């Protein structure tokens, strides 16, 4: 016997632990029903007969290895109906990690474990960066991808030929998201990634063709070192792509495969239908879905997602600093390929209770089977799993079950789903294993926690403490389950719960003021006050009013969805927007658009800290649980298929998708972006002087990027929408614009969400305008703009000048750095030339070239005293419209205020 601990019989186990026949490992169902066939991706629909290219399972042939559990018929869920994924059926049990769309999910941990070694498509985790490409059944076999780059014989191959011309192989592999267990890192300190729990992994049987066979046909050239993969999913920064080393791709023992079946079924849309790469032993982000290109190269992929995703940067780099370190992101030393060793406890489950028996009772169990999963990376086998009840002072070996080994016992020549069972010869291990340890209940009752760690055959063991990094990936410290004694029961508490689900000892400890980085799981220790790692200061601003306890139902909220008394919701709290109606910078339309809605995303993305701090004044109550659930299932994006041929594109309460159809450069840093509306006859629907909101998703964090823009299109234009945007790029001295750079990087064909109109100013024509809902008559506009701030000025000026009966006079002061920066100049010059009595146009440059005959310098007091003069009216028939950089706007307001212009005369777009 090897004594692994010193203080109890719990630590006594043989050095070599045999597997027990009575262990309660998860089931491994073996369906061997004669003539059975996996269900299609659409539930109970029949697959086209041409696609039935696999052997039927034969009940008379004994199977020595697990077969997958049956999939259940699923339908498109209500929350997906108004998203680009409205064609994808899904299981409602999956936990959404990034809101409704895109679809990033994990199953409940207990459900995943209970399903056994193989995971069906219903519960398999999903990591999607954007919309799922839609492929009709009749197009599956015609799906093509290329093998190109540094090869002697590039070729294009449809799936039909991939199946017909190459040997098929089938084997199991566990896919794991690099973000598995990230929620633990996010509780310690927020990363740039969303909150995976411990179920960001799944195992399936994959059928396809060895990538090495395809590369052998293409013949890589001398000097080639990498193989890049690119999918068909259109994203804000191009198509998703990544790369691995060429010698990995061609090594049969690495098992890299081009797959078209999962558990015998054609790939489900979420899992890459029709074709994907499977790279066993590496993070799931390398296994590109919806495969379109295989490119052999000399250097690693230059794809945006290869560089800015799936990296573990040094822990001192925080999310803010990371945005200005392009060379660090491109450093291949920080790229993640092989998985690291990891394990988790599945039972006892979170909040599970265990009864303790009294001395005279025999009903309670004497022992409890603590059990969970473990996995290694790069084909390395997990060789031991150890459990401790005393925080690592002593350890006990757990029993390990490796179902992957069952496939190595398949008879020579055995096939499954049309593929040769490609396992008997392999030395590599690509799947998770299950561990279990029976622990006396009395010992559990005397402990404060259960912790587990695993080690692989390279003697790589899970670390005791977390390695925090900016993307929160590869989190693998000891997995700790806290134990609470509650009377005659034990209650178990996992570290976290996935997504925004509350619960877990880490959140509890942090709320209680514990230091999760102190090396003792947040427990108070002697000297902790002096030695504790400095915590990130809390930045949360209280947005609720003390003492407000009112519970508000969804029906009450909807009764205030109109313009009389608009209520809206932020983070589950209800606010009365009525006091905002007159003074809100976005105008009353912004409040009306949020009325009766969950405005959390828009409010938190757009508003300043000062605005957030003012919210308690308007707080009236909390939306009840049923109301929150109702709002969470309401999608706020429309499309033509769901809504029919709507006459007006912009909607105040819902996001509508427009498709980017063109980009045209008009200067070195400005472009006109053209978007197709839902149909050719659809009208934009934007009043003169108002704006629309645009929304994109950060490709890493999936957080919303929302900005307001004024199109150069007219509100009555049909079918297309044009927006002139100045692109603020990153420089060594300045962080660029998140939205403008994202817009510049998305490919033609990508969608952008739009919503509107918003704004407190509207020009109604012939000098009549509306400001915060109140009409006023204007005889002269002084229009002050700079750079791309010309767009709302241009919109109003055009409306005035195109009406020959509009007597309103306009003075336009347009400031820029150089002559090439003057936007819309041709149109502005034409309007001024055609209306000399009504329009005076002055350009001002700070860095003019030789020969410039216009004004020079900045917009200073002398300019405004000379060209504008003091306010000459007490009736408000003059108005100054201002749009440009914030510093310019403030300067102009200060100068004019000093000249006697009152606040009601000045309007900043």
Cα–Cα distance for residue pair 873/867, rounded to 1 Å: 16
Residue 358 pLDDT: 60
Give the tens place of pLDDT for each residue, 758-781. Answer: 888 899 999 999 888 788 899 999
Residue 29 pLDDT: 45
Answer yes or no: are the C-beta atoms of 439 and 368 closer than 8 Å: yes
> Which runs of consecutive H residues, i.e. helices, occur in 461-562?
505-511, 528-531, 554-558
Residue 745 pLDDT: 76
Residue 144 pLDDT: 98
pLDDT above 70 for 802: yes
Supply the CATH classification number for the domain 761-908: 3.40.50.80
Q: How far is CA 737 from the centre of its chain?
A: 19
Query: The domain at 2-22+339-531 falls in which architecture?
Result: Sandwich (2.60)
Q: Binning pLDDT at 50, 70 and 90, where does residue 24 land? A: low
The pLDDT of 739-768, averaged and rounded, is 85
pLDDT above 50 for 37: no
Indicate the range of 84-93, 486-495, 748-757, 838-847 predicted with least confidence.
748-757
Helix (H), strand (E), coil (C) string for 537-590: CCCCCCCCCCCCCCEECHHHHHCCCCCCCCEEEECCEEEECHHHCCCCCCCHHH
177 is known to lie in a ligand binding site: yes
Give the tens place of pLDDT for each residue, 579-627. Answer: 766 655 555 556 666 677 777 766 766 666 667 777 888 888 998 888 8
pLDDT above 90 for 198: yes
475 flagged as catalytic? no
Supply the CATH classification number for the domain 128-334: 3.90.420.10
Q: Binning pLDDT at 50, 70 and 90, where does residue 33 land? A: very low
Beta bridge partners of 755: 693
What average pLDDT does the structure give for the chain?
A: 85
Catalytic residue among 177, 259, 433, 824: 177
The pLDDT of 615-644, averaged and rounded, is 69
Residue 20 pLDDT: 37
Residue 744 pLDDT: 83
pLDDT above 80 for 899: yes
Cα–Cα distance for residue pair 719/648, rounded to 1 Å: 10
Which fold does the domain 637-758 belong to in CATH? Elongation Factor Tu (Ef-tu); domain 3 (2.40.30)
- DSSP 3-state assignment of 34? coil
Catalytic residue among 85, 233, 309, 814: 309
449 flagged as catalytic? no
Residue 671 pLDDT: 92
Residue 881 pLDDT: 93
* 528/576: higher pLDDT: 576
The pLDDT of 153-173, averaged and rounded, is 97
Q: Binning pLDDT at 50, 70 and 90, where does residue 526 land? A: low
Residue 605 pLDDT: 62
Catalytic residue among 303, 310, 475, 518: 310
Extract the tokens encoding 813: 């002061």
- Quickly tell me which residue has 């914030």 as its tokens: 886
pLDDT above 60 for 716: yes
Q: Which sign does the torsion angle of CA 645, 650, 652, 653 carry? A: positive
Q: Which of 40-44, 301-305, 451-455, 821-825 has the highest mean pLDDT?
A: 451-455
Q: What is the pTM of this model?
A: 0.65
Give the tens place of pLDDT for each residue, 77-91. Answer: 998 988 899 999 999
> What percent of the chain clears pLDDT 90, i.e. is strictly above it?
56
Supply the CATH classification number for the domain 551-632: 3.10.120.10
Residue 364 pLDDT: 67
177 flagged as catalytic? yes
Domain boundaries, the chain: 2-22+339-531, 128-334, 551-632, 637-758, 761-908
The pLDDT of 214-228, averaged and rounded, is 97
Cα–Cα distance for residue pair 511/508, rounded to 1 Å: 5
Q: Binning pLDDT at 50, 70 and 90, where does residue 731 land? A: confident
């Amino acid at each position: 016997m090897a004594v692994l601990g010193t203080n109890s019989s719990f630590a006594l186990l043989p050095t070599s632990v045999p597997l027990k026949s009575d262990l309660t490992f998860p089931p491994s169902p073996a369906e061997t029903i004669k003539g059975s066939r996996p269900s299609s991706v659409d539930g109970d629909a029949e697959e086209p007969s041409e696609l039935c290219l696999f052997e039927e399972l034969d009940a008379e042939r004994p199977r020595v290895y697990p077969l997958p559990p049956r999939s259940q018929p699923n339908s498109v869920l209500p929350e997906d109906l108004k998203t680009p994924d409205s064609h994808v059926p899904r299981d409602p049990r999956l936990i959404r990690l990034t809101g409704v769309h895109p679809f990033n999910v994990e199953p409940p941990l207990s459900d995943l474990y209970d399903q056994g070694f193989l995971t069906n498509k219903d519960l398999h985790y999903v990591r999607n960066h954007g919309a799922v490409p839609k492929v009709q059944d009749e197009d599956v076999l015609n799906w093509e991808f290329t093998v190109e780059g540094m090869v002697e014989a590039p070729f294009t191959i449809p799936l039909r030929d991939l199946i017909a011309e190459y040997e098929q192989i089938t084997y199991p592999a566990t896919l794991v998201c690099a973000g598995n267990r990230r929620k633990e890192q996010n509780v310690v300190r927020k990363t740039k990634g969303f909150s995976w729990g411990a179920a960001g992994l799944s195992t399936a049987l994959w059928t396809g063709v060895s990538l090495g066979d395809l590369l052998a046909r293409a013949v890589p050239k001398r000097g080639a070192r990498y193989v890049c993969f690119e999918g068909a999913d259109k994203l804000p920064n191009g198509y998703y792509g990544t790369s691995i080393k060429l010698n990995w791709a061609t090594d049969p023992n690495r098992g890299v495969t081009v797959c078209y079946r999962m558990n015998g079924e054609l790939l489900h849309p979420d899992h890459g239908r029709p074709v994907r790469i499977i790279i066993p032993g590496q993070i799931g982000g390398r296994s590109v879905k919806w495969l379109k290109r295989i490119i052999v190269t000399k250097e690693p992929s230059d794809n945006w997602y290869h560089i800015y995703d799936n990296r573990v940067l040094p822990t001192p780099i925080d999310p803010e600093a990371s945005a200005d370190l392009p060379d660090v992101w491109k450093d291949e030393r920080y790229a993640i390929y092989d998985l690291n060793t990891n394990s988790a406890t599945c039972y006892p489950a979170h909040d599970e209770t265990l009864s303790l028996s009294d001395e005279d009772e025999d009903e309670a169990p004497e022992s409890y089977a603590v059990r969970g999963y473990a996995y290694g990376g790069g084909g390395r086998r997990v060789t031991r799993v150890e459990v401790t009840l005393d925080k690592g002072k002593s350890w006990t070996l757990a029993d390990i079950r490796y179902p992957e080994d069952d496939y190595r016992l398949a008879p020579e020549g055995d096939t499954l789903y049309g593929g040769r069972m490609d396992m008997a010869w392999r030395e590599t291990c690509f799947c998770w294993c299950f561990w279990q340890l029976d622990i006396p209940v009395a010992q559990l009752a005397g402990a404060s926690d259960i912790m587990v760690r695993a080690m692989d055959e390279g003697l790589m063991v899970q670390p005791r403490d977390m390695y925090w990094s900016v993307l929160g990936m590869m989190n693998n410290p000891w997995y700790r389950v806290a134990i609470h004694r509650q009377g005659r029961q034990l209650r178990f508490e996992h570290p976290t719960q996935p997504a925004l689900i509350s619960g877990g000892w880490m959140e509890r400890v942090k709320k209680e003021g514990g230091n999760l980085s102190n090396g003792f799981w947040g427990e108070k220790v002697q000297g902790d006050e002096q030695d504790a790692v400095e915590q990130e200061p809390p930045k949360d601003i209280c947005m609720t009013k003390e003492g407000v306890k009112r519970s508000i139902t969804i029906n009450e909220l909807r009764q205030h969805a109109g313009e009389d008394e608009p209520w809206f919701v932020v983070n589950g709290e209800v606010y009365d927007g009525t006091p905002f109606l007159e003074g809100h910078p976005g105008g009353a339309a912004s409040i009306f658009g949020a009325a009766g809605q969950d405005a959390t995303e828009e409010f938190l993305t757009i508003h300043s800290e000062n605005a957030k701090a003012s919210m308690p004044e308007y707080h009236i109550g909390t939306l009840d649980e049923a109301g929150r659930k109702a709002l969470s299932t309401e999608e706020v994006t429309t499309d033509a298929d769901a809504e029919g041929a709507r006459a007006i594109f912009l909607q105040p309460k819902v996001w509508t998708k427009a498709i980017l159809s063109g980009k045209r450069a008009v200067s070195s840093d400005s472009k006109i972006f053209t978007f197709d509306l839902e149909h050719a006859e659809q009208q934009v629907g934007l009043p003169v002087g108002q704006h629309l909101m645009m929304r994109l998703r950060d490709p890493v964090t999936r957080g919303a990027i929302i900005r307001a823009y004024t199109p150069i299109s007219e509100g009555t234009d049909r079918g297309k929408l044009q927006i002139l945007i100045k692109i603020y790029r990153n420089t060594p001295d300045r962080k660029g614009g998140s939205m403008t750079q994202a817009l510049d990087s998305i490919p033609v064909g990508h969608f952008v969400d739009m919503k509107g109109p918003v704004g407190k100013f509207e020009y109604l024509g012939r000098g009549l305008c509306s400001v915060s809902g109140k009409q006023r008559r204007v005889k002269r506009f002084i229009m002050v703009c700079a750079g791309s701030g010309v767009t709302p000025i241009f919109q109003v000026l055009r409306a005035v000048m195109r009406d020959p009966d509009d007597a309103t006079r306009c003075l336009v002061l347009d400031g820029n750095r150089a002559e090439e920066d003057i936007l819309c100049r041709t149109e502005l010059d034409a309007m001024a030339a055609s209306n000399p009595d009504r329009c005076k146009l002055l350009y001002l440059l700070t860095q003019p070239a030789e020969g410039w005959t216009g004004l020079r310098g900045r917009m200073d007091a002398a300019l405004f005293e000379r060209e504008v003069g003091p306010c000459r009216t007490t009736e408000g028939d003059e108005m100054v419209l201002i749009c440009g950089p914030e510093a310019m706007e403030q300067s102009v307001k200060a100068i004019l205020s000093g000249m006697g212009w009152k606040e009601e005369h000045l309007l900043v777009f």
